[in-house]
Amino acid sequence: MIEKKPPLTIRLCQPRGFCAGVDRAIQIVVLALKKYGAPVYVRHEIVHNRYVVEGLQSLGAVFIEELSEIPPEHRQSPVVFSAHGVPKSVPADAQARNLFYLDATCPLVSKVHKQAMRHQRLGRHVLLIGHAGHPEVIGTMGQLPEGAVTLIETEADAARFEPVDASALGFVTQTTLSVEDTAGIIRALQERFPQLYAPAAESICYATTNRQEAVKETAAGADLFLVVGAPNSSNSRRLVEVAERAGATTSLLVQRAAEIPWDEIAAIKTLGLSAGASAPEIIVDEIIDAFRQRFDVTIDLAITATETEDFPVMRVLRDVELTAADMAFVNGAA
């Protein structure tokens, strides 16, 4: 007699997973490998996802932390800068070393860089709301001279900050923050500094906002909410926090199906499922398949937004055809 599987409803968030900036960055590495051959060097993880990094390594990408790691015999090989952005010192170092580089910085991160530079050009001290040590924060602070930017991580930081001139302040934010947490910090700053200048456009990116809204809509009443993503992925970790605040009984960050605590979740009836902006859809499929093996699964697709953004790669790579097969290692079979 075949044992009957317990029923499970999976509330599958849409949008989820790759945003346009992440997709573009991965495409740049894939296209560079097709055009120039291996090795293609990548400074820092191209996006914060181990599966993606290992997939690109298998194609011939070599990940480094500093340009000095590129051996002399490979100085003609391309080096790609990650989607998180880099300080101005990095392309300057690449030029000094006569390296050929491709900048895969997300256009929305580049927009934050421009907003920060605009504040400074207009005589304002820049407040950057973000997390210390995150590559995007390092890259944004590195657009301006030392001392021109102050990092604000919390409302407590906002309360402690003492400016030289309270009438000449402007803020920008890391693109992957919690919308609610950031709003609280901005409120705290505006209460202390009514003349604080906002950026000309929203800094938190559309994908971060959309994924958080989708999780808010689906988390209430979920016995378990899973977010597919890496521990060093800021936007993925924020989704876990959003799910807990929005009413999920338990919320977990997992990189693969093997990390799911199967022994602890045998009695769940409703599962929420989303993926951070750097998590590939092939892992979402893997996790759904793993649940199907154990439960009688019904998928409830929760669509809260439709994303049409598409960021083209740089002109030097546009003559190379990108096929579905080229991206199957992250997107799955078409």
Reported as half-sphere exposure (CB side, CA atoms, 13 A), residue 117 has a value of: 13
SS (H, E, C) the chain: CCCCCCEEEEEEEECCCCCHHHHHHHHHHHHHHHHHCCCEEEECCCCCCHHHHHHHHHHCEEEECCHHHCCHHHCCCEEEECCCCCCCHHHHHHHHCCCEEEECCCHHHHHHHHHHHHHHHCCCEEEEECCCCCHHHHHHHCCCCCCCEEEECCHHHHHHCCCCCCCCEEEEECCCCCHHHHHHHHHHHHHHCCCCECCCCCCCCHHHHHHHHHHHHHHCCCCEEEEECCCCCHHHHHHHHHHHHCCCCCEEEECCHHHCCHHHCCCCCEEEEEECCCCCHHHHHHHHHHHHHHCEEEEEEEECCCCCCCCCCCHHHCCCCCCCCCCHHHHCCC
Asked if omega into 194 is within 30° of 0 (cis), the reply is: no
What span, in angstroms and rounded, lies between the C-alpha atoms of 192 and 223?
A: 41
Give dist(CA 266, CA 195) in Å, integer: 54
Rg (alpha carbons) of the chain, rounded to whole number: 21
**Candidate list 73, 136, 244, 307, residue with the active-site label:** 136
307 has catalytic annotation? no
For tokens 């800094």, what's the residue? 203
Catalytic residues: 136
